[in-house]
Amino acid sequence: MQFRSIDFIPTEIKVLIVLLSSVTSINCRSYVEPGYYPGYYNRGQENHYAKIQTALEKLDHAPEWIPEWPDRSVNLGQVSAVALDNSGRLVIFHRAANVWDATTFYMDNVYKGITTKPIPEPTLLVFNDTGSIVDKWGQNLFYMPHGLTIDSQGNYWVTDVAMHQVFKFTAGDRTKPQLVLGEKFVPGADETHFCKPSGVAVLGNGDFFVSDGYCNTRVIKFNAEGQRILQWGRDSSDSPYSFNLPHALALAEDKGQVCVADRENGRVACFRTDNGTYVASYKNWLIGPRVFSVAYSPVHGGRLYVVNGPGATVPVRGYVIDFTTGRLIQTFAPQGDFHNPHDVAVSPDGADVYVAEINPYKVYRFSEESLRNESLSKEVVKSDEVVPVKPTATVESSSLAPASWGLWRGAAGGAGGALVAAAVVAAILALLRARNRGRKGAPRRRWEYGHGEFKLRRLLERRRFTRVHSEDSDDEPAPMLPPQPPANA
Ligand SMILES: *[C@@H]1O[C@H](CO)[C@@H](O)[C@H](O)[C@H]1NC(C)=O
Ligand SMILES: *[C@@H]1O[C@H](CO)[C@@H](O)[C@H](O)[C@H]1NC(C)=O
Ligand SMILES: *[C@@H]1O[C@H](CO)[C@@H](O)[C@H](O)[C@H]1NC(C)=O
């Protein structure tokens, strides 16, 4: 048998095929828990690497990592969440022996282990200041822990992505939740179902928000009784209300805002807590295209603490953003950066910061001692103006069936990728043709040139890591590189 040479395919078509497949693969990235490989950024690209180093040097390297924390004897699984209780102790939510990987769910988001028993070990661990476990519970309750929040009354709120549920536990009863939202193991997108809900944020008056999550890409506000009052984010248009995996929530209650770590959009998006109106987004080229979690402290006028993720051409680190100006002011990481940070928590005074990692199974502590003794009393403007609102939807445009939503998004992503690739190829071909014509002395068709440039520019702008919010930004576009294979996984 003879193999035919592929030389009969014109080079332009080959270029097209390569571009199509690479760009499409970027857009079709699936949203299972992040890739299990260490943070990668391209040291081979000298200019980009140098630019990153320069940008990092300009930032304050704080808070400082506390290497001997927690106690080494502590045995953890995938640590999915960190939160501080009302006495300032760290609480973590972990998966013990359970692991979320590509085989955990069926295509329709149903958990494959519904006939198995819940995790028998305590999944909630409480640490004292020196890093010893002083309390633990949460055994025989959960399958795939994700989010954890402790409200001002000391209630624990957790999400389980396998059960598709949100639970509230009071301090007094740790075996039976006081409130359960969602139907066990049944994913959905209607009023009574979630699909892999990721996080919770609770207002002082008891109203709370749920980020829902891996397939529904919406944020829902409930009143204290668990009735839905607001929802936004299922809008598929290119508006600031549409998410690409809302992965964690943080409340800036003194600002009357709830902020969403919009993971695959690489931004923190903040909305009014009272009526869900969009206020601002925070992005930065140095943080890159993925933001896994966000926390807020009212210190010094308000600061956002974010962690990014692997797979991009930026280092995996923590960053502190000034809430008012949107400027990056600090960066923090353990030695050698993070690998797969999944959640971040900060104490109200900003002095203690904790980061959970999915892989390796770790929790890190950082501290900024100069903030520890500062009085917050002058700065915090308490806002009790959060008035209950009538149940109305703000931005809710999609009525797609729940099960088809994830698929539809994937398909749209692929089609979008193909369109973008086609636009790039068209632009390149147009440029080549224009140049050839130029050589032959034919007049350049300027509109074609301009059109191509316009499309390229728009494309680069979409990929650019700038902050939407304020004047300070580094305007260089990020290089468009496909995700890299594991460095040394
Ligand atoms: C934390 O707990 C350990 C073990 O019980 C104890 O030795 C240590 O003194 C405690 N630290 C604090 C700050 O209470
Ligand atoms: C939310 O409230 C603000 C301030 O009253 C108002 O400007 C905005 O239009 C409101 N948004 C909605 C959707 O009602
Ligand atoms: C903060 O206050 C404590 C107790 O008052 C004191 O021991 C500590 O040295 C102070 N730290 C700083 C950084 O000022």
Q: What is the 3-class SS of the chain, one letter each residue?
A: CCCCCHHHCCHHHHHHHHHHHHHHHHHCCCCCCCCCCCCCCCCCCHHHHHHHHHHHHHCEECCEECCCCCCCCCCCCCEEEEEECCCCCEEEEECCCCCCCCCCECCCCCECCCCCCCCCCCCEEEECCCCCEEEEECCCCCCCEEEEEECCCCCEEEEECCCCEEEEECCCCCCCCCEEECECCECCCCCCCCCCEEEEEECCCCCEEEEECCCCCEEEEECCCCCEEEEECCCCCCCCCCCCCEEEEEEEHHHCEEEEEEHHHCEEEEEECCCCCEEEEECCCCCCCCEEEEEEECHHHCEEEEEECCCCCCCCCEEEEECCCCCEEEEECCCCCCCCEEEEEECCCCCEEEEEECCCCEEEEEECHHHHCCCCCCCCCCCCCCCCCCCCCCECCCCCCHHHHHHHHHHHHHHHHHHHHHHHHHHHHHHHHHHHHHHHCCCCCHHHHHHHHHHHHHHHHHHCCCCCCCCCCCCCCCCCCCCCCCCCC
Number of domains comprising the chain: 2
pLDDT at 396 over 50: no
Residues 369 and 342 in one domain: yes
**Better-scored residue on pLDDT, 321 or 400:** 321
Does 158 score more than 80 pLDDT? yes
Q: Which of 36-40, 42-46, 271-275, 313-317 has the lowest mean pLDDT?
A: 36-40
The predicted pLDDT at position 313 comes to 87
Higher pLDDT, 128 or 381: 128
Residues 464 and 370 placed together within one structural domain of the fold: no
Q: Show which of 355, 370, 401 is a domain's final residue.
A: 401
Considering the domain architecture, whether residues 332 and 470 belong to the same structural domain is answered as no
Distance from the alpha carbon of residue 168 to the mean position of ligand 1, in angstroms: 28
With respect to residue 4, please indicate whether it lies within any of the assigned structural domains.
no
Q: Are residues 320 and 341 in the same domain?
A: yes
- Which atom of ligand 3 is the closest one to the Cα of 372? 1
Do 237 and 349 reside in the same domain of the chain?
A: yes
- In the structure, what pLDDT confidence band is assigned to residue 44 with cuts at 50, 70 and 90? low
pLDDT computed for residue 443 by the predictor: 32
Q: Are 329 and 425 members of one domain? A: no
- Residue 122 inside a domain? The answer is yes
Note the pLDDT tens digit of each residue in 253-290: 999 999 999 999 999 999 999 999 999 999 999 999 99
Q: Is residue 43 part of a domain?
A: no
Q: Which residues approach ligand 1 with their CB closer than 6 A? A: 128-130, 132, 134
More confident residue, 38 or 144: 144
Q: Residue 369: which CATH number?
A: 2.120.10.30
Q: Are residues 167 and 304 in the same domain?
A: yes
Is residue 70, in this structure, part of any structural domain at all? yes
pLDDT on residue 311: 85
Domain ranges, residue 21: 11-36+409-475
Contacts of 329 (CB under 8 A, 6+ apart): 59, 60, 303, 320, 321, 322
Give the distance (Å) from ligand 1 centre to CA of residue 343: 25
User: Final residue of a domain: which of 353, 370, 401?
Assistant: 401
> What confidence tens digit (pLDDT) does each residue in 342-370 have?
999 999 999 999 999 998 999 999 999 99
**pLDDT greater at residue 339 or residue 403:** 339
Predicted confidence at residue 257, as pLDDT, reads 98
Same domain, 397 and 432: no
- Range of lowest pLDDT (22-36, 219-233, 235-249, 413-427): 22-36
Task: Give me the pLDDT at residue 219, please.
Answer: 97
Higher pLDDT pick, 419 / 78: 78
Q: Are residues 88 and 226 in the same domain?
A: yes
Taking the whole predicted model, whether its pTM rises above 0.75 is answered as: no
Distances from the Cα of 446 to the Cαs of 430, 433, 435, 440, 451, in angstroms?
A: 10, 12, 11, 16, 8
User: Which has more pLDDT, 393 or 253?
Assistant: 253
Residue 55 is assigned to a structural domain of this protein = no
Which of 232, 273, 277, 395 to mutate to test ligand 2, by most ligand atoms within 8 A of the CB atom? 277
47 domain residue, yes or no: no
263 is in an annotated binding site: yes
pLDDT at 36: 35
User: Are residue 308 and residue 238 in the same domain, yes or no?
Assistant: yes
* Amino acid 335: pLDDT: 92
Q: Whose CA is nearest to atom 9 of ligand 3?
A: 373
Residues 29 and 77 in one domain: no
Residue 170 has pLDDT above 60, yes or no: yes
- What's the confidence (pLDDT) of residue 235? 65
Whether 337 and 455 map to the same domain: the answer is no
Which one is predicted more confidently, 444 or 294? 294
The answer to whether residue 41 is domain-embedded is no
Mean pLDDT for the chain overall: 77
Residue 15: predicted pLDDT: 53
Residues 209-234 have a mean pLDDT of 95
Residue 12's pLDDT band (cuts 50, 70, 90): low
Last residue of a domain, one of 401, 430, 445: 401
Return the higher-pLDDT residue of 360 and 237: 360
Least confident of 156-160, 239-243, 345-349, 425-429: 425-429
399 ligand 3 Cβ < 6 A: no
- Minimum-distance ligand 1 atom for the alpha carbon of 129: 13
Q: Reply yes or no: is the peptide bond before residue 63 cis, omega within 30 of 0.
A: yes
Residue 130 lies in a domain: yes
Ligand 3 midpoint to CA 373 (Å): 6
